Amino acid sequence: MKVKDDQPLRIGFYVCHCGHNIAGVVDCAAVAQYAATLEGVVLSRDYKYMCSSPGQELIREDIRDHNLNRVVVASCSPLLHEHTFRTAVAAGGLNPFLFQMVNIREHDAWVHTDKAAATDKAKALAAAAIRRVARHRPLETTRAPIHPDVLVVGGGISGIHAALTLANAGKKVYLVERDPSIGGHMAQFDKTFPTLDCAACILTPKMSAVRAHKNIVLWTYSEVAKVEGYVGNYTVTVRRKARYVQEELCVGCQECVEACVFKEPKFPDRFNVGLSRRKPIYMPFPQAVPQAVVIDPERCIELKTGKCKKTCLEACADRHAIDFQQKEELVQIHVGSMIVATGYELFDPRRLPHYGYGRYPDVLTTLECERLISSSGPTGGELRLHSGQAPTAVGFVLCAGSRDYKTNRWCSRTCCMHSMKLAQIIRERTGAEVTLFYIDIRAPGKGGEEFYDRALAQGVKFVRGRVAEVSDCPLSPAEQGKLIVRVEDTLAGMVRRIPLDMVVLAVGMEPQANAQEVRRIMNMSCSAEGWFLEKHPKMAPVSTFTDGVFIAGCCQGPKDIPDSIAQAGAAAAEALALIDAGGIDQEPNTAYISEEDCSGCKSCVDLCPYKAIAFDPVKEKASINAALCKGCGVCVAACPSGSIGQNLFEDQEVFEEIEGVLAHA
């Protein structure tokens, strides 16, 4: 099966048209003709779609019929189809590493308009690969075992669903959540569109299931501090913040909260977005999981000064759940894969001063409005103005901060539906006039359009135009004491002033403020906006560039609950596939030291970030542990006597490429 080194070269060269993608810019036939003239090439073809089954079959047949011992394919990026063609080469009976790919789509046809120059470039890149492949040697892949445990970061609906899916499949899951309870944004919602079913009714059972599941280790109030290792074998350090309450001893009776020396709740309650107050010791929200209180060290008198009567301790009595001595802990766990589901943040509308948020108390965000109409909210579900009265006219300003070059360019996908949901609930419960100011109504997906129709049928008014300003300066008696929305109604073709009691800003989603930090810890990439980057927007939407790390939910980009859950399921399935495969084939790009060449100068030993290089004090030579080597090649470039090689990236192979790309003028 292997090619012997002394066999004369028989290279097969293929250039792919990729329909018009490549052939529209690069003269594929000319590239094939040119390649045929190069040393070692015995067969040169251009073909419409190399990655198609017939394309792959062509390679397999040619290897057999023409006795090829090297294959070069000029098509798209190797990051996309290298594996496809290696598999085809292997199916033809050749070692899959006697293959080289040339990127003439992403790096050529798609980025250039000058056809002659693009064709020349394709020839140069082809020449480089043909020279390079001549140096290739057969290589064997190694298989790394996969630790079956999985870490899920983030306990919103995506993280919860991913954790449950994995746990139900019998895998051990660590679910790490930064807040004192899981639930995420969904726990704050009253109802969910487009079915208007109660969010708590569908979320709470899942939250309880997480708590009860024997395969899930739930760590709330915890953060991932450090990740080391690689796919199949990650060592993760988790920081467990001090809750000052022993979770397993607390029964959630909240007698301590009652007994707290603060008689009245005084501090803004995060769950109700600051619309209500809580005490220093509190339950995050009624359905919180775990059902355990938490003490805010910034507010608790005992923790701040050590001089409190500690009435909470008395209330807790012999349960002894409250523990002022609790310290932050660092815990290390071993997992084989990770799912990142760290969610999103809401756009802060203070960045749009013309909408008056923060200045007018009756300008709210959608989430604040959500809490006001929620029966578990601060008003028990009664929509109330700042003054305590019920509003008679409510307006929704869509795309507040979204689809705007000055703030966030993207569409957050959920705000239209979210606003129409709130509008319908308000119509239903209060009978108030509701007006939606929109640029475009985006109600895609199953039941979306019907949902929009329903809002129309309920008498929700739609005004097309981006709101220019929200003010409280009346120009007529009718505007007295109202908030006035100034908007260009682009359907009526006029500027309108619409007096309202309450204005709700439909703020979009943004990456979490610490997304960059998380990205670094997890070794992922971010899009320019700060969303975590999937490996491929279509073909690998939950994978990342780091093997064994998957993403789910809104940390990857704005999406609604059904999409988040679907993605979480997909991420769990990817992790399961990895675990059940039992191992992962590793690219054989490891470095190696030729013992007879090594002088034992030790220059390389400390350069390796993986401690893969060891110095043998008896032989006085260095050697590389292939199992630890990740193939970066830093030591190869730094070895002063050229005694370190790297499979797939040998000096000679790169030199051939350099010469090759410069050979064709």
Partner 1 sequence: MAKPKIGFYWCASCGGCEEAVVDLAEDILAVTAAVDIVFWPVAMDYKKADVTSLPDQALTATFINGAIRTSEQEEMARLLRAKSRYLIAFGACAQLGGIPALANEFSREAILSWVYQDAPTVVNPERVRPAVRTDDDGRTLTLPEFRNVVRTLNQVVEVDYYLPGCPPTPKLIKAAVGALLEGKLPPRGTVLAPDVALCEECPRKKTKPQDLHFTAFKRPHLVPLDPELCLLAQGLVCMGPATRGGCGALCPGANMPCTGCFGPTSRVRDQGAKMLSSLTSAMEAKEVPEVEKVLAGIPDPVGTFYRYGLAGSLLRVNTTAAAAASKEAL
Partner 2 sequence: MPENNWQPRIVAFFCSWCTYTAADLAGVSRLKYAPNIRIIRLMCSGRVDPQFVLEALARGADGVLIGGCHPGDCHYAEGNFKTLRRYQMLRRVLGAMGISEERIRLEWISASEGERVRMVINDLVERIRILGPLDLPGRLAACDAELGASAQALRLPQYRQPAADLREVIHG
Q: Is 600 in the site for partner 1 (CB under 8 A)?
A: yes
* Residue 208 binds which entry of partner 1, partner 2, none, CB below 5-8 Å type-dependent: none
- Closest-CA residue to 436 (of 411, 453, 418, 419): 419
* Residue 602 binds which entry of partner 1, partner 2, none, CB below 5-8 Å type-dependent: partner 1
Q: Is 603 in the site for partner 1 (CB under 8 A)?
A: yes
Q: Is 514 in the site for partner 2 (CB under 8 A)?
A: no
615 bridge partner residues: 622
Give, in degrees to the nearest 5, the angle at Cα 50 between 44 and 52.
150
d(Cα 600, Cα 30) in Å, to the nearest integer? 50
CB of 38 to partner 2, least distance (A): 16
* Residue 662 binds which entry of partner 1, partner 2, none, CB below 5-8 Å type-dependent: partner 2
Residue 320 backbone zone (phi > 0: left; psi -120 to 50: alpha; other: beta): left
In the chain, the largest separation of any two C-alpha atoms, in whole Å, equals 97
Stretch that binds partner 1, among 181-189, 220-228, 318-326, 594-602 (CB under 8 A): 594-602
SS3 30: helix
Q: Is 651 in the site for partner 1 (CB under 8 A)?
A: yes
Q: Is 655 in the site for partner 1 (CB under 8 A)?
A: yes
Tokens of 534: 């999937």
Give, to the nearest 10 degrees, the angle between helix 415-430 and helix 366-373: 30
Give, in degrees to the nearest 5, the angle at Cα 130 between 126 and 132.
115
Site residues for partner 1, 453-472, by CB under 8 A, read none
Rg (CA), the chain: 31
Q: Is 469 in the site for partner 2 (CB under 8 A)?
A: no
Close Cβ partners of 101 (under 8 Å, ≥ 6 residues apart): 72, 73, 74, 75, 78, 81, 82, 85, 129
- Closest-CA residue to 316 (of 259, 262, 263, 248): 259
* Residue 128 binds which entry of partner 1, partner 2, none, CB below 5-8 Å type-dependent: partner 2
Among 491, 513, 528, 539, binds partner 2 (CB under 8 A): 528
**Strand-strand pairing, 549-551 and 337-340:** parallel
Q: Is 120 in the site for partner 2 (CB under 8 A)?
A: yes
Separation of CA 421 from chain center = 27
CB of 278 to partner 2, least distance (A): 38
Tokens of 267: 């501090």
Q: Is 616 in the site for partner 1 (CB under 8 A)?
A: no
d(Cα 600, Cα 549) in Å, to the nearest integer? 37
Q: Is 108 in the site for partner 2 (CB under 8 A)?
A: yes
Q: Is 387 in the site for partner 1 (CB under 8 A)?
A: no
Nearer Cβ to partner 1, position 449 or 606?
606
Among 79, 201, 457, 638, binds partner 1 (CB under 8 A): 638
Give, to the nearest 10 degrees, the angle between helix 28-36 and helix 115-135: 40
- Closest-CA residue to 510 (of 531, 493, 480, 536): 531
Q: Is 598 in the site for partner 1 (CB under 8 A)?
A: yes
Among 169, 198, 607, 626, binds partner 2 (CB under 8 A): 607
Question: With CB under 8 A, what is the number of residues at the site for partner 1?
Answer: 23
The number of beta carbons lying within 10 Å of the beta carbon of residue 375 is 11
Nearer Cβ to partner 2, position 387 or 625?
625
Contact in structure between 196 and 421 (CB atoms under 8 Å): yes
Site residues for partner 2, 546-605, by CB under 8 A, read 546, 589, 596-597
Nearer Cβ to partner 2, position 129 or 294?
129
* Residue 523 binds which entry of partner 1, partner 2, none, CB below 5-8 Å type-dependent: partner 2
Q: Is 641 in the site for partner 1 (CB under 8 A)?
A: yes
Q: Is 526 in the site for partner 2 (CB under 8 A)?
A: yes
* Residue 589 binds which entry of partner 1, partner 2, none, CB below 5-8 Å type-dependent: partner 2
d(Cα 221, Cα 49) in Å, to the nearest integer? 52
CB of 206 to partner 2, least distance (A): 33
The number of beta carbons lying within 10 Å of the beta carbon of residue 616 is 12
Q: Is 121 in the site for partner 2 (CB under 8 A)?
A: yes
d(Cα 290, Cα 180) in Å, to the nearest integer? 8
Q: Which residues bind partner 1 (CB under 8 A)?
A: 596-603, 605-607, 615, 620, 634, 637-643, 651, 655
Q: Which residues bind partner 2 (CB under 8 A)?
A: 77-80, 103, 105-108, 110-114, 117-118, 120-121, 124-125, 128, 520, 523, 525-528, 533, 537, 545-546, 589, 596-597, 607, 609, 630-634, 636-638, 646, 649, 651, 654-655, 657-659, 661-662, 665
